[in-house]
Amino acid sequence: MADSGKDSCPSLLHGKYELGRLLGHGTFAKVYHARNLQTGKSVAMKVVGKDKVIKVGMTEQVKREISVMKMVQHPNIVELHEVMASKSKIYFAMELVRGGELFSKISKGRLREDVARVYFQQLISAVDFCHSRGVYHRDLKPENLLLDDFGNLKVTDFGLSALSEHLKQDGLLHTTCGTPAYVAPEVIGKNGYDGAKADLWSCGVILYVLLAGFLPFQDDNIVAMYRKIYRGDFKCPPWFSPESRRLVTKLLDPTPNTRITIAKIVESSWFKKSVPKTILTKEEQEFESFNCGKAKQPETLNAFHIISLSEGFDLSPLFEEKKREQKEELRFATTQPASSVISKLEEVAKAGKFSVKKSETIVRLQGQERGRKGKLEIGAEIFAVAPSFLVVEVKKHHGDSLEYDQFCNKELRPALKDIVWTSTPA
């Protein structure tokens, strides 16, 4: 694929994306509207010039942004669909978020407290998910928070993010980065900082700005502004409610070790107020309407089915409980009848607070509590290899992969131990 000029972009990328109008640009990148010709869906195509990246020594930063965005797939984080490259450019095909920056909304004036709360709840959900993956954003600010067509918040720009593997021997990060008005006091210092606690300070500044319409720490002289940040020297306007004032003060605590944690934020009275309870997500609606069918007997597997279920021609994974790390499914064989398998799954569901839908051969479990990516939903299907020999396939349908792995390892595997058939060595 050839570029049509030094600063221009081809109108067709890899025969897959048709590039349209310019949506915006920064120092190192331009963002275009693009259409996937295979699906007809619109995307945002971020185009980065390789020469510029190399010239300023940002190669590692771009690589990090790609690896981080592949890790953090969450409803409140802009999704990276794929990355492509030509001789001179790198192309990021990303989720197109049409509602603009949250910054432009605040620039018109402060938000109502209930509106600010919804945005803050979504921000904390995204940040909590990043931290659970060992990812620290380090440049959270309203300009990096976009809104979709439905007004949902989407975190973007992971160019300055850090991973837990970037921690020094003291277990801290040491690179000073971020936007001055939103940066935590410990980041300005030279003694290292906890990325999670620094992100929460930035969340505190954002919450203040949403409720006030202006920054908590302001001064024309940046050194004077840093002094205010160090001391935590700010005042809440009189229209802040007592609960919001209390939360902002705990977030903008200049001492990292006493700063509020995400676990305490989500338990705070202000955060928990006005959480929508009646709105069902798409996944919850699908579960409610799911019909397990009327099959009376497990489907009998022929040789081709067995091979397709196994890893290549090695059939052992069907008959031995093996750890399937990084995979969202597990299979096991059993000589117990299907009714016993279903009873075991129902026991697991009851102990783990799952709702259950079932037939004679299919079981669907859905968590009653929301996790980092909504409610965890798991499906189990029973197949017959022989009349008294069954294979059970368990898959994650929705929810967070880490929460699914923890559920399988801590609850599902131990509960099924008694009925899992394992081959005895010859």
**Catalytic positions, written as ranges:** 139
User: Crossing angle for the helix pair 242-251 and 195-212, nearest 10 degrees?
Assistant: 150
Q: Concatenate the DSSP letters of all residues of 161-230 into one string.
A: -EEGGG--TTS-B----S-GGG--HHHHSSS-B-HHHHHHHHHHHHHHHHHHSS-SS--SSHHHHHHHHH
Q: Decide if 146 contacts 154 (C-beta within 8 A).
A: yes
Q: Compute the C-alpha angle 397/402/407, nearest 5°.
A: 75
- Residue 331 tokens read as 């299979």
Evaluate whether 332 touches 420 at the Cβ level (below 8 Å). Answer: yes
Centroid of chain to Cα 91: 22
CA-to-CA separations, 16 to 36, 243, 282, in angstroms, rounded: 6, 51, 29
C-alpha 321/C-alpha 117 separation (Å) is 45
How far apart CA 140 and CA 158 sit, in angstroms, is 9
How many beta carbons lie within 10 A of that of residue 382, not counting itself?
24
Q: Is 50 annotated as a binding residue?
A: yes
DSSP letters for 309-373: HSBTTB-HHHHS----TT-SEEEEEESS-HHHHHHHHHHHHHHTTEEEEE-SSEEEEEEEEEEBT
Binding residues for ATP: 50
Binding residues: 50
